[in-house]
Structures are given as C-alpha cells and as structure tokens.
Structure 1
Amino acid sequence: MGATDFDILRSFVRKYCGFRTTTHSLIMSSFDELESSAMDEVRSEFSLPIYQVGPLIPHMLLHASPSLPDYFSWLDSRPKSSVLYVSLGSFLPISASQMGEIVAGLADSGIPFLLVSRDSKLCRPDGIEGSAGLVVPWCDQLRVLRHPSVGGFLTHCGWNSTLEALYAGAPMITFPLFWDQEPNSKLVVEEWGIGRRLKEKDENLTSELTASKVKRFMDLDDEESKCMRDRSEKMKEICWDALNAGGSSSQNLQGFLDQITNKCC
C-alpha cells in the first residue's frame, strides 16, 4: 500500500465524517502478512479494531465439481505453465486502439493465451486467426488461474484480481488503468517481485512491445522469470496459510465474531 492508497483512505474518512464515531470495526479483504507495515500505518489512523480476513475471493467454490466449460478442455490440451491468461476487467474497459495493440502483440508472440473479452468480433470458436489464442466473453477466473497450463496473468491489477493471482501463485504482467490499480501494480512489481509491467510510463503501447514483453515473461528458462515464479509460489503459500485454521485471517475473523458476540451479550 503506497501513498496513493493512504490518500484514498483519508479522502474516504473526510467524506464520511461519521465514520470514526459510528463504526465499531473495519473489515478488510487483505491479510496480515501481505501488507504488515502499511497496516500499521492504517491502524495508527483509526482507534477502532481492524480485522484483515482475506483474501476475500471465492476460493471455497474450487472444491465444488461443476461441469466445466469447453475452454477448460482447451487448457487441458496445453503444456504446463504455457498459457497466458488475459483479463483487463469490465468496469473500465480499455480503448479499442489499446486492445488492438495488445491482441496483435499476443498473436505475434506465439504464446498460447486465453483472453476474456466481450467484443463479439474477437469471440470466435476458433479464437484469433493465425494465433494460438482463445477468446471467451467470460470465464471462471480463479479456477482458470489455478489450472496447471496457466503460467501467467495479464491484468489491470484490480484488487480482487490481484488477490486471486496471489492465491493461485500466478505471476502477473500489469497494465493498470485507473485509481488503485497503479499502486497495486507497484506492489506486484516492486515490493512483492511477482510481476512485470506491460509498459513503462515513457513507453508507447504497441503490438511489438506487447509481443516482446509477453515472450520474455513466459520464458520459463529465463532466470529472472524463474525467480519471479518462485516468489509467486511463496506468496501463494503465505496466502493459503492465512486462510487455514489457525492462520491470521482465520484468527481475525474469529476475533471479529467474538467482538460482535460480546457486544450482543
């Protein structure tokens, strides 16, 4: 969590002036081990209890056994860690020109990819002509990220997507679009060391740049890529430990429930 995050939080507090006096606790979707120093700063801003109970993502649904869509058969046919999963969100869609450069770069990279897009011109049963890509209008993101053939995630760095990637142990190529996505990207790349930026601020987004970044990112023999993937696996273990019985998020949730129970008694 960087300075921008604190500005957002303080703005929220100023706008809702009754927050400090009417709220008895604050629940957050992160977990203690992920942002310990930042949370110390946040707690210093408030006198109320703060409980980190995350990652708040639908991980419990992974234990269900639904009939899987056809794109999972496509994933099953790909080698381990060979596919780049691409989803840039739906709330703030990128421009048509930017998407065009990204799609062209993905196609030119030669890397198999699964792209989520609602663009009917891209969503064809045979994927994108001349490429190893498949395009779908929607997918079960967490289950896809956990699939053995998926070796990385090109993401806008929304917080939920970031948490799902952490849970799955998926390294990220970041392409932030708005608000908290930029500091989230900074965490992924600079603090946690589990991703790379699609482009730097002084670079123009082109298909050539996209293809180059994607090929290097998905090169499993690249030493930097190996280190990044090792760190992603370690972050996954920390994330799972937080959720397990006796983990920090499990204990924090119990602490919150105890507080509610005590207030009701």
Structure 2
Amino acid sequence: MPYPGRGHINPMMNLCKILASRKDQIAITFVVTEEWLGLLSFDPKPANVRFATVPNVVPSEIGRGADFPGFVEAAMTKLQEPFEQLLDRLEPPKPSVIVYDMFLAWVVGVGNRRNIPVASFWTMSASVLALYHHFDLVVQNGQFPADVSERGNELVEYIPGIPPTRIADLPTIFYGDGLKVLHRALEAVSLVPKAQYLLLTSVYELEAHTIDSLRKTIPIPLYSIGPAIPYFKLEDNDNDNNYVQWLNSQPKSSVLYISQGSFLSISKAQMDEIIAGVKNSGVRFLWVARGEASQIKEACGGEGVVVPWCDQLKVLCHPSIGGFWTHCGWNSTKEGVFGGVPFLTYPIVVDQIPNSKIIVDDWKIGWKVRKGMGEEVHLVTREEIAGLVQRFMDLESEEGKEMRRRAKELREVSRKATSKGGSADTDIDAFIRDISQSFNH
C-alpha cells in the first residue's frame, strides 16, 4: 500500500518486482488510487503482481501541488476505510504481510487488529528517518521551532548516527509551511515500533552509522533493501529512443542531465535564470521538462535535447553523461549515485534539503546551486549559473577530478550492494525468509 505520490509508488513497485523475481510463489497485490492505476497500467509488471484500486483521496483537478498539506491529510485519513473494504473482498488466503508506506500510519492498526504482520516501508534516506525519530531531541535542545533566516547556520549535533547538520539543512517540514504536516509525519514515525518489520530504501554502506543507530533504538527487524530503483532493468535494450541515439553520438562525460523532479516547481524568475545560465554556459545538456519545454528549446537552440520524460537511470548510467542537475529527491539521488555521476543540487522542499547536504558535505560528490532556505531563497543569476556549470563540467579541473573519483567509488559501493551476496541482496532474502517463516507458523 504505497502513499499516492510518484516518489513513493516507484520504489515500492521496484521492491515488488524484485520480490516477485525471487520466488514464483510470492503473489503481490499492489493497491493504488484510481488515478494512479491509469498512470501505471502501461508499465510492464511480473505475472505474480496484480493491481487493486481504492478511490482517489482528492479530486485530481485540485492536484497535490495546489494544496500539499490538504493532500497529505486526505491520504492519511480517507484511505483507511476503502482499504479495509478491499481486504474484506480479497480472495483467500489472507495476506501474509502488508507492506505499507510509513506515512500511511493507519495501516499498522489495520494489520494488528486483523492479525496480519505489517512491514513499514520508508522511501526517504535513513538520515531523514533518524531526524524524525529523534525529533524530541531537537525540541529538548531548544532548536525547534527555529527561525531559519536568523538561526539557519546553528548546528544540530546530538542526533545519534547523524553528522552535525545546520538548522537550514533540516527537512522543510520543521519550519514555515511544513509545520502544517509535521504532526502527521511524527505520528507515522512513532507507530513504526508497533509494526513487525522496517524496510529502508537505502544502501547500507552509504548510511552505515545512521542505520546502525536506528537498529539500536527501533525494536523491530530492520532491512536495508538497497536503492529500490530499476537497476534490474538496465540490461533491457530499448535504444530506439531518440535521446539515447543522441547520447550515443556525444563525447564521453560531456552532457549535463537536468531534471527538477515531477511535482513541485521553482519560481518563474529563477527558471528564466536557469535556462539562460545553462544556455550561456555552452555545455551540452539533456533536459527533462514539461511546462517549460518550448521555452527551453527556443532559448537553448542546438546545444541540447529537451524531452518530456526519459528512462532516468538508463540515462544516468550512459557514458556520455558527465553530471546531474537535480532537485535531490531520494530516488533521483540514489539513481545518480548508481550512475556514478557528480551532482549540481537545487533542492526545493522536505527531504530534498538534507539530501543535498548529504551529497555535497558528507559524500562530497556535488555542489550546491541553490542559495538560502525557507523564505530566504536568493535568486541565483544566469551569470552565476553559467560559470558554475562550466566549472562543474570541466573534466580537467582538480576539484572536478576528485569529485568524479568519489562518485565512481560510491557507484561501485551501490552496485556491489545490489549484486549477488551484497548487503541489499542479503537483506531482501532475509526479509522473504522472515515473512515466510512467520506465515508458516
């Protein structure tokens, strides 16, 4: 049962495909809202995965971008009843486990009442989970609520398993508009110990300290199942896409891949500066854009290709890609690491902010584009962007070489974790074994 948003549905579907490929006897019912069934129906899925639907939580014309807090509230309150009705209608045998998105906290009660084990599925980084899990420490230390414009550079340095972090690098849910949904997120995290399993969509080696500390404080089995991105599809040969053919004709590491995510956008003034800055940099690019596509094509002419969609992981693993401009959603972050490319980060909201900090400060595989946080976002000018992009894509600079070397190192860590006998591979097998055993008892 995923939360009805792209960044939540994709990793859960990837987990289902991995589980389904491990054992033919695993039958999976993937529950989505009607709106999402329409969007997912063209995506090929294994024979032992089937869809079931519940009604949309809000009319799709309102859209989740228009009223984000309202959408979160609806997902956390309106889905329970139709989900329970669906459980009653399912053909026997009853499910041996319900894997649910942690934000849909009501599932824990449903499973416990019906005597069905539940596995809490976390779609963000382990570090962000630790920040929510130890939120009481932020309150005790008098750093909540904080005015980010005044205290943004103050350090939070007492969260177990987390390196010192500026207040400005905490998830935006801790200040401003985000406070409207904070109580829901904290409630969801507080119910995790009442679940039977916890699944983290992270590579253990990339967040080892954090995951180890979570294991000490959360009293249920925790599995670090790897990035939950479609790495198992990389061998599929579908090179008939025009953008792939274009990439094939470009020099090695010469193309900047740009994607600002699928959901929340930046101001028109900032978008205009980004478009002009990328154009003035003279760097080749592949840009995924919806609304601004024609403006980008018009402005940037022949230096690059603009597409409404692409197979992002395949693109990031392509040898001609030399960097990734991203909003730092956790799925995109993991795909960039798996592709072994350095990052230019322009985070917008929630966990994208701490993800950018992890990329730039902890892993040292990227640079920040965005300046300021909360209400204090400063316009980054086209001149700054052009200069930054040129320096970033310069393969000869010493700082660039070091960043690329680190990115390749983390790529190897990710690929080893997901290959046979790696940490993610082992934890997925352990999860299957544990749910099978509990079911057999």
TM range (shorter): over 0.9
Could you tell me whether the CA contact under 8 Å between 1:123 and 1:136 is conserved in 2? no
Counterpart check, 1:117 vs 2:295: no
Counterpart check, 1:136 vs 2:311: no
- Deviation, 1:67, is 4.4
Could you tell me whether the CA contact under 8 Å between 1:5 and 1:180 is conserved in 2? no
Matches of 1:85 and 1:192 in 2, distance apart?
20
Cα 1:15/1:64, change in 2 over 3 Å = closer
Q: Counterpart of 2:431? A: 256
Percent of matched pairs sharing the same residue: 41
| 2:411 aligned counterpart, secondary structure | helix
Alignment length, in residue pairs?
262
Q: TM-score, structure 1 length as denominator?
A: 0.92
- Aligned partner of 1:206 among 369, 377, 381: 381
Unpaired segments ≥5 residues, structure 1: none
Q: Counterpart of 1:41? A: 213
Between 10-19 and 69-78, the greater mean CA deviation after superposition:
10-19
- Deviation, 1:41, is 2.3
- Deviation, 1:68, is 2.5
Counterpart check, 1:6 vs 2:179: no
Greater relative contact order (Cα < 8 A, sep 6+): 1
Matches of 1:129 and 1:228 in 2, distance apart?
27
Moved over 6 A (4+): none
Unpaired segments ≥5 residues, structure 2: 1-124, 136-182
- Deviation, 1:95, is 1.9
AA aligned opposite 1:87: S
* Structure number with bigger Rg: 2
- Aligned partner of 2:274 among 99, 102, 110: 102
Could you tell me whether the CA contact under 8 Å between 1:5 and 1:183 is conserved in 2? no
Question: Once the two structures are superposed, what CA deviation does each residue of 1:26-78 show, in whole Å capped at 9, x if it has no partner?
Answer: 11110110101111222233100110111110111111112421112221221
Q: Counterpart of 1:169? A: 340
Matches of 1:13 and 1:177 in 2, distance apart?
21
Question: Once the two structures are superposed, what CA deviation does each residue of 1:89-122 show, in whole Å capped at 9, x if it has no partner?
Answer: 0111222221111111000001001111102423
Between 199-208 and 174-183, the greater mean CA deviation after superposition:
199-208
Could you tell me whether the CA contact under 8 Å between 2:328 and 2:355 is conserved in 1? yes
| 2:412 aligned counterpart, secondary structure | helix
Matches of 1:232 and 1:189 in 2, distance apart?
11
Could you tell me whether the CA contact under 8 Å between 1:110 and 1:131 is conserved in 2? no
Matches of 2:253 and 2:307 in 1, distance apart?
20
Question: Once the two structures are superposed, what CA deviation does each residue of 1:211-254 show, in whole Å capped at 9, x if it has no partner?
Answer: 11100000000000000000000000000110111110111111
Give matches, 1:59-78, under 5 Å: 59-78=231-250
AA aligned opposite 1:61: K
Matches of 2:379 and 2:338 in 1, distance apart?
31
Could you tell me whether the CA contact under 8 Å between 2:127 and 2:207 is conserved in 1? no
| 2:294 aligned counterpart, secondary structure | coil
- Aligned partner of 2:413 among 238, 250, 263: 238
